[in-house]
Amino acid sequence: MDMERWRHYARARFFLLVNKPARAVEGLEAALRVDPDFHRAATSLGYAHGLLGKDELALKAFRRALEIKPKDAVVLFDLGFIHDRLRQYEPAIEAFEQAVALNPALDRAWYGLGLARAHRGQHEQAALALEKAAQLQPMNPHAWYALGMAYYTIGEPEKLAATIAHLDRFDPKMAHRLTQESSA
């Protein structure tokens, strides 16, 4: 049984690597038929469905992965990402908050939390989350851009200028875009 689930899983991971998520879904579902509690297969199934734009199926798979392993910060991030993409901001915020509580170093969860809070109009809280994301990943232009927009929205011109200056050191195009957006 163990070898069979791993065979299906390995084949599915290959299909994910070569950007064939529909084929990956077949293998992941086969692995889960062999072992319904196979956490990695449930997580990968959510990811594959997400790539296919089947967000409701992705949510279902990520929820199943969390039933198997409730304290998985990465799966909580994935769940939050899909909720955010569906514009379900409250469940997204909840999932991202759980993810950062479990793993405070998970930069993408802080970034997702910041974006979801910004989408809800919670700009001060968004800035705090995005500050953490930018601190954890100082060369991520998307985190710095989002942080700059949060500073612009809450009326922090000095922090916005510092963010633009930092961004200009490693991504001048993104710094220019932030300058344009914040002066419009």
Q: How many CB atoms lie within 10 A of CB 68?
A: 16
> What is the model's pLDDT at position 2?
86
Most distant CA atoms of the chain, gap in Å: 61
Q: How far apart are CA 27 and CA 74, in angstroms?
A: 22
Strands, E assignment, the chain: none
DSSP string, 21-76: HHHHHHHHHHHHHH-TT-HHHHHHHHHHHHHTT-HHHHHHHHHHHHHHSTT-HHHH
Q: How far apart are CA 100 and CA 31, in angstroms?
A: 30
40 is written with which tokens?
Answer: 């990695």
CB 126 within 8 A of CB 149: no
pLDDT (tens digit per residue) in 126-169: 999 999 999 999 999 999 999 999 999 999 999 999 999 999 99
Task: Give residue limits of the domains in the chain.
Answer: 1-66
Q: How far apart are CA 180 and CA 15, in angstroms?
A: 41
> What is the model's pLDDT at position 1?
59
DSSP string, 21-32: HHHHHHHHHHHH
Contacts of 5 (CB under 8 A, 6+ apart): 31, 34, 35, 38, 41
User: What is the pTM assigned to this prediction?
Assistant: 0.93
Plot region of 103 (φ>0 → left; ψ -120 to 50 → alpha; else → beta): beta
Instruction: Scan for tokens 């879904």, then name that residue.
Output: 25
Q: How far apart are CA 62 and CA 65, in angstroms?
A: 5
> What is the model's pLDDT at position 184?
76
pLDDT (tens digit per residue) in 46-85: 999 999 999 999 999 999 999 999 999 999 999 999 999 9
pLDDT (tens digit per residue) in 72-127: 999 999 999 999 999 999 999 999 999 999 999 999 999 999 999 999 999 999 99
Domain 1-66 has CATH 1.25.40.10: yes
Q: What is the mean pLDDT of residues 22-46?
A: 97
